C-alpha cells in the first residue's frame, strides 16, 4: 500500500534520470571538451584585450557609455581581436550543433533507442531530456564565464558593479542561451530527420554557414538587382529601402542575436533601424534605461524563442510519427 502511494510522486523520476545522464555524457564527451577549450581561449583573449584597452575606453569623454566598466569588458577591443559577444555569435552555433547533431540517430544506430522506448518513458520526455541536458551544460558554461569576467573586473579595477550592469549582463546571458538553444533544437530536428549522424552534422553546419556568410550576400545581390540604387532615392524611399534590407536580414538568427546583445551591452543604442534627420535632431547621446533597452530587443527575443519552439515542434511531430524497430 505504501509503495502504491509513492508511485505517483515519482512520475517524473525517469525524466530527470535521463536529464542527468545526458548532462554527464555531454560533460565527458570529447566534442564538448574541444568546444569548451575554444570558447574559453577566445574568452580569455577577448578579456585580455578589453582589460588592456579599458583605461582608454573609460577616459573617452565623448563616449556616453564610459561609466559602464563591466559592459566595456564585453565590448572593448582595439581591433586586434573581436569582442567576446562577436566570438560567441560565431562559436555558439557550433556548440549547439556539436551537442545535438546525433541526439536521436546515434541512439537508433547503436540499437539503444528501442530498448529505451521499451521502458516506461514517453517520447516527448526523451526529446525534452536531450534538449534540457545539453542546455544545462551550455548555461553552466556561459554563467561560469560571465562570473569569471565580473570577478576579474572587480579584482583588477576595484570598482563595484552596478545593478544596471548586472541586469544587462544577465540579459546578454539569457540571449546567448536562447541563441545556442535555437541551434541545439535545429540540430536535434536534423538528428530525427536523418539516419546518419554525419549527414545531420553536415546539414546543420551548412545551414549555419548559409546564415553566417552567404545570406547577407544573397540579400544584397537580390535587392540590388530588383530595386534601384540607394544613391538615387529620396529620403522616404531610402528609409523604406533600409527597412526592407533590415527586415530581410532579421530572418537570420545571427542577426537577431547581434542586434539584441549590441543593444543590451551598449546602453546608448537607441534604435536598431534607420533614423531620419528629424528624429535625430536635438537628441543627446546618453544611455537608455534597462527597461527601454529590453523593449527595443523584445522582437529579437520573441523571434529566437519562436524559432526554437517551431524547431522543437517539428522534431516532436517527426519523432512521434517515426516507427522504431528493433
pLDDT tens, residue by residue, 257-277 = 999 999 999 888 877 765 544
Three cell numbers at 114?
528501442
For residue 123, which of 18, 200, 20, 195 has the smallest C-alpha distance? 18
pLDDT over 90 percentage in the chain:
32
Q: How far is residue 165 from each of residues 130, 149, 168, measured CA to CA in Å? A: 33, 13, 5
Residue 103, classed as helix, strand or coil, is coil
Maximum pairwise Cα distance, the chain = 83
Residue 174 above 60 pLDDT? yes
Res. 227 pLDDT band, cuts 50 70 90: confident
Residues 5-49: tens digit of each pLDDT: 444 445 567 788 888 989 998 999 898 999 999 999 999 998 888
Tell me the mean pLDDT in the region 213-223: 86
Question: Please, which residues have CB within 8 angstroms of residue 285's CB and are 6 or more apart in sequence?
Answer: 64, 268
Supply the pLDDT for residue 184.
95
Yes or no: say if 168 and 290 are a contact pair by the CB < 8 Å rule: yes
Question: What is the Cα–Cα distance from 180 to 128, expressed in whole angstroms?
Answer: 16
Amino acid at each position: 500500500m505504501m509503495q502504491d502511494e509513492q508511485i505517483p510522486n515519482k512520475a517524473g523520476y525517469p525524466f530527470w534520470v535521463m536529464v542527468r545522464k545526458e548532462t554527464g555524457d555531454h560533460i565527458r564527451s570529447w566534442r564538448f571538451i574541444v568546444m569548451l577549450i575554444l570558447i574559453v581561449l577566445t574568452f580569455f583573449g577577448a578579456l585580455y584585450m578589453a582589460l588592456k584597452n579599458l583605461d582608454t575606453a573609460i577616459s573617452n569623454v565623448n563616449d556616453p557609455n564610459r561609466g559602464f566598466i563591466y559592459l566595456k569588458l564585453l565590448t572593448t577591443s582595439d581591433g586586434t581581436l573581436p569582442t567576446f559577444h562577436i566570438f560567441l555569435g560565431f562559436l555558439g552555433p557550433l556548440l549547439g550543433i556539436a551537442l545535438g547533431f546525433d541526439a536521436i540517430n546515434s541512439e537508433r544506430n547503436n540499437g539503444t533507442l528501442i530498448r529505451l522506448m521499451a521502458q516506461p518513458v514517453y517520447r516527448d520526455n526523451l526529446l525534452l531530456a536531450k534538449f534540457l541536458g545539453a542546455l544545462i551544460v551550455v548555461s553552466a558554461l556561459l554563467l561560469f564565464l560571465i562570473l569569471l569576467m565580473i570577478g576579474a573586473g572587480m579584482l583588477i579595477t576595484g570598482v563595484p558593479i552596478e545593478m544596471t550592469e548586472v541586469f544587462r549582463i544577465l540579459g546578454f546571458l539569457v540571449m546567448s542561451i536562447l541563441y545556442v538553444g535555437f541551434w541545439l533544437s535545429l540540430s536535434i530536428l536534423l538528428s530525427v530527420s536523418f539516419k546518419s549522424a554525419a549527414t545531420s552534422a553536415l546539414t546543420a553546419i551548412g545551414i549555419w554557414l548559409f546564415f553566417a556568410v552567404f545570406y547577407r550576400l544573397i540579400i544584397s545581390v537580390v535587392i540590388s538587382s530588383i530595386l534601384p540604387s540607394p544613391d538615387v532615392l529620396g529620403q522616404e524611399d531610402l528609409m523604406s529601402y533600409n527597412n526592407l534590407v533590415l527586415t530581410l536580414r532579421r530572418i537570420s538568427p545571427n542577426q537577431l542575436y547581434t542586434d539584441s546583445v549590441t543593444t543590451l551591452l551598449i546602453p546608448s543604442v537607441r534604435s536598431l533601424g534607420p533614423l531620419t534627420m528629424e528624429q535625430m535632431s536635438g537628441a543627446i547621446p546618453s544611455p537608455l534605461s534597462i527597461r527601454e533597452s529590453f523593449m527595443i530587443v523584445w522582437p529579437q527575443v520573441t523571434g529566437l524563442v519562436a524559432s526554437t519552439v517551431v524547431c522543437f515542434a517539428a522534431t516532436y511531430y517527426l519523432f512521434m510519427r517515426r516507427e522504431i524497430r528493433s
